Amino acid sequence: MTRTRTPGISRRSTLALMGAGAMSVAAPWVARAQAKTIKIGMPTILSGRVAQLGTSSRNAVMLEVEKVNAAGGLAGRQIEMVIRDSKGQPQEAARVARELVNTDGCELLLDGEASSGSFAVHEVARDLGVLCIHTCSEASSLTADPKQHIPNAFRCVRQGIHDSIVGGSYAAAIAKTKGLKKWATCSPDYAYGRDTTGEFTLYLKRFAPDVEIISESWPKLFQPDYTEVVTKILQAKPQALYSCLWGGDLTSYIDQANIYAMFSQMEVFAVNMADYTALTVVKNLPKGIHSGNRYIKTFPTTPENAAWGDAYKAKYNEYPTNWSWQNATAVMFLAEAAKKANSADGKKIAEALKGLTIKCPFGADGTVTMRGDDHTLVGYAIGWGTTIPQEPYVPEVKAGDWKTIFELEAEWKKSKGYT
C-alpha cells in the first residue's frame, strides 16, 4: 500500500501546531507557577461594633497590594491576601492567625487586631516564628515593654505615648496664652482611656505647671447616654476639657453635649476628633474643637497625601481612617524591605525592616522609620489643630516635634522600667 500524501495540513504539523498553541496558552501559567504567589494572612475585626476597624484596614491593604503586585510583587512574587474576621475576640484572633499560617499557608501576617486581640496574635507569632506586623493596636506596651519583644514582630501604628506628648505640649501652649488653669477630663473607662488621659495630663502639667484637674469623668465604653457626664462637667465649670473618647462614643457625646451648649463654655481638646469617621458623622460639628490628627488628607499638606486620600475615596466611596494609613504603610514597608532583602522570606524581611526608612505620604518629613531597637513606627505625621464644620474640617494642623517626642518617650520608658 502506497502512502499518499493528502492535501492540507499533515498530522505532524497539526501536532506541532497544537503543541505550540498549548505552549502559548500555558506559558503565562508556567511563568506564574515559577513566581509562586506569596500569601499574607490578616486577622482583623470585620463584624460587630468596631467592624469599621477591619473594613477600612482591609480597603487600605488591598489598595496598596494592587500597587505592589502591579510593580512585580514581593521580590517577584505576587501577593495574595487572606483576610478573616476575628469578631474582636482574642481566642478567635489566635485561632484565625494559627489557621492562616498552618492551613492556608500564609508566610507573613498583618495583624489588624485592636487591644487584647493584638497581644493574642503576638503570642501566635512568638510560637510560630512567622513575621508579623501589627497594624492597629496603639497600646504602647506592645513594643515598649521588653518582655513583649520578639525578633519577628513589628508595629506599624501610632502610639498612645506619642499622642500624649504632642497633645500635652500643644494644649499647654494654649493653656498659657489663654490662661486655662481649671481642667476637666472625660474619657472611656478602660485601659486605653485611663492610660492616655493620665499621660496627657502628665505632659500638660509638665509644660504648664499651674494647670489643675478639677473634675474627672469615666463613662463606660459604648455608653449610649452622656447626660450625667455632661451635666457633671458643666457644674464643675472648668475652663478646658480633655477627652479621648473615640468613634461612635465621641460623636454621640458631642451631639448630646451640643444640647447643653457645652462647646461655647470651654475649650475642648478631643484627641480622636480629627478622623473622618467622627468628623463626617457628628450632626453639628462645633467650630474650634482641638484635636490630634488621626487621618486627614490635608495633613501632612503634601500632594502625595492628598492624592492617596482621594484615591481611597474614589475606590471605596468613603474617606480613609486612621487604621487605613497604618495598614497602607505596613504594606509599603513590606514591599521596601523585600526589595532591600531581595527576598520574600520572613526572616530576611524582618532583618531588612529593622531601622528601615521609607518614603511615605504619611511621614512628618515625607518618610517614616521602623525603629530598630523596639521595632516600632516613628516619624509619622503627628499634630494638633482646630475644627471647622465643613471640609477640610481641620484646616491648619500644628505639627508635633519628633525631637521632643523622642526625649520624653525615652524618659517615660525609663519611668516604666522598660529600659
**Which residues of this protein are in contact with another protein, per CB under 8 A?**
46-47, 51, 54, 84-85, 87, 89-92, 94-96, 98-99, 102-103, 115-116, 119-120, 122-123, 126-127, 139, 141, 145, 147-148, 190-192, 194
Q: How far is the CB of 142 from another protein (least distance, A)?
A: 8
Q: How far is the CB of 100 from another protein (least distance, A)?
A: 10
Query: 160, 161, 109, 112: which is closest to 136 by C-alpha?
Result: 112
Among residues 87 and 313, whose Cβ is nearest to another protein? 87
Q: How far is the CB of 36 from another protein (least distance, A)?
A: 21
How far apart (Å, rounded) are the C-alpha atoms in residues 319 and 275? 9
Among residues 16 and 191, whose Cβ is nearest to another protein? 191
Q: How far is the CB of 147 from another protein (least distance, A)?
A: 4
How far apart (Å, rounded) are the C-alpha atoms in residues 371 and 373? 6
Q: How far is the CB of 211 from another protein (least distance, A)?
A: 25
Among residues 122 and 155, whose Cβ is nearest to another protein? 122
Query: 41, 47, 43: which is closest to 118 by C-alpha?
Result: 43
Range 152-173 burial, b when 16+ CB lie within 10 A, else e: bbbbbbbbbbbbbbbbbbbbbe
How far apart (Å, rounded) are the C-alpha atoms in residues 283 and 262? 15
Among residues 96 and 161, whose Cβ is nearest to another protein? 96
DSSP class of 147: G
Question: In one letter, which amino acid is 135?
Answer: T
Residue with cell 522570606: 345
Q: How far is the CB of 226 from another protein (least distance, A)?
A: 20
* CA 14 to each of CA 7, 20, 135: distance values in angstroms, whole numbers, following the listed order: 13, 10, 56
Among residues 126 and 347, whose Cβ is nearest to another protein? 126
How far apart (Å, rounded) are the C-alpha atoms in residues 334 and 380? 17
Residues 6+ apart with CB under 8 A from 399: 299, 300, 364, 381, 382, 383
Among residues 323 and 362, whose Cβ is nearest to another protein? 323
